[in-house]
Amino acid sequence: MSDEPKRALIEKSFRGLPIFKNLSDPHLLQLSSDFIIQRIKKGKIVFYQSDTSTDLYIVLEGAVRASLLGEDGVELILTVFNNGDFFGEMSLLDGKPRSATIIANEDSMLGVLKRERFLRAIKNDPVIAIDLLSAVVQRLRMADNMIESLAFLDVNERLLNLLLQIAAAKGDKDENGFLRIKKLTHKEMASHTGSSREAITKVIKVLAFRKILKEEEGHFLISPDAKNMIGMSV
Ligand code: CMP
């Protein structure tokens, strides 16, 4: 893509972003021209946990995930950033090493902004700082949910929780009221729930036996009763 359409895409994306929603047109234009574009292929690393970079990133196309990687190759997915989401704000704000590894979930296009440019934008429009804070607090709430789920729910419940969250965000319903979502691999489900592939395989079997989860070509179907199973032994 040549520079002009790229600029237009950045400007258009920025108008819809919660953290830049209160920017005046001239400031938004200035800020979008400060971003550079980075394309990244599915499976490639944007940066590793402990790296010392401080740029801010925005997903313009595609999706990336923030993960913690264990030495044994085990991955815990903290969150997925989709179109319009930003990441990298923690090192940008405190100057410390990156708190997580960012991996491309699909071929993606990212906008990258240098720390100094972002700080200048905050000086010009302090309202950005308030909107950024509100987004960070929302992430903290989600992190609390994750801690709660790791501490108090078993793998069955964590998996149901995950599938129901995905269904709420981007699922639809079949004629029997079952929630339909795109199938995930056992490895993906293990990485999202802090468990192993073997544990997920067992859970899927139990859920299928109890008719809480059905599998069809490319999709999972989740029973409307599934939410009542969280908080009690499934
Ligand atoms: P930073 O530490 O600069 O680089 C990794 C990024 O992953 C981090 O900024 C956040 O943008 C994001 N991140 C880290 N931990 C979490 C979390 N628990 N929930 C959501 N995003 C996170």
Give 178: exposed, middle or buried? Use CB within 10 Å, 0-12, 13-18, 19+: buried
Residue 185 domain boundaries = 154-229
Ligand 1 center to 75 CA (angstroms) = 15
The first and second tokens of residue 161, run together, are: 């929780």
pLDDT digits (tens, 9 = 90+) for 94-117: 999 999 999 999 999 999 999 999
Tell me, what's the pLDDT at 163?
Answer: 95
- Which pLDDT score, from 0 to 100, does residue 233 have? 45
One domain for residues 32 and 127: yes
Residue 158, domain member (yes or no): yes
Ligand 1 pocket mutation pick from 47, 78, 86 by most atoms within 8 angstroms of CB? 78
pLDDT, tens digit (0-9, with 9 covering 90-100), for 40-63: 999 999 999 999 999 999 999 999
Ligand 1 pocket test, pick from 45, 57, 79 with the greatest ligand atom count within 8 Å of Cβ, gives 79
Q: How far away, in angstroms, is 65 Cα from ligand 1 center?
A: 9
Q: Which residues line ligand 1 (CB under 6 A)?
A: 66, 78-79, 87-91, 98-100, 139, 143
Give 123-155 pLDDT, tens digit per residue.
988 988 998 999 999 999 999 999 999 999 999
Q: Are residues 64 and 144 in the same domain?
A: yes
- CA–CA separation, 118 and 55 (whole Å): 9
Helix (H, G, I), strand (E, B) or coil at 218: coil
Number of domains present in the structure of the chain: 2
Span 7-31, pLDDT tens digits: 777 777 777 777 888 888 888 888 8
- The alpha carbon of 76 and the centre of ligand 1 are apart by a number of angstroms equal to 13
- CA 60, CA 190: separation in Å to the nearest integer? 28
| C-alpha 8 – ligand 1 centre gap (Å) | 27
Q: Report yes or no on 234 lying in a domain.
A: no
Residue 27 lies in a domain: yes
Residues 88/66, Cβ–Cβ less than 8 Å? no
Confirm if 200 and 156 have CB atoms less than 8 A apart: no
Q: Judge if 184 and 161 occupy the same domain.
A: yes
Residue 214 lies in a domain: yes
51, 77, 90, best to mutate for ligand 1 pocket (most atoms within 8 Å of CB) = 90
β-bridge partners, 182: 219
Tell me the DSSP string of 135-192: HHHHHHHHHHHHHHHHHH--HHHHHHHHHHHHHHHH-EE-TTS-EEEE---HHHHHHH
Residue type, 94: D
Give the three-state DSSP class for 53.
Answer: coil
Residue 22 DSSP symbol? T
User: From edge to edge, which strands make up the β-sheet containing 179-182?
Assistant: 172-173, 179-182, 219-222, 213-216
Same domain, 9 and 42: yes
**pLDDT above 70 coverage of the chain, percent:** 95
pTM: 0.87
Which atom of ligand 1 lies nearest, measured to the CA of 142? 19
How far apart CA 104 and CA 19 sit, in angstroms, is 22
116 with 221, same domain?
no
- Distance of CA 209 from the midpoint of ligand 1 (Å): 37
Per-residue model confidence (pLDDT) at position 17 = 79
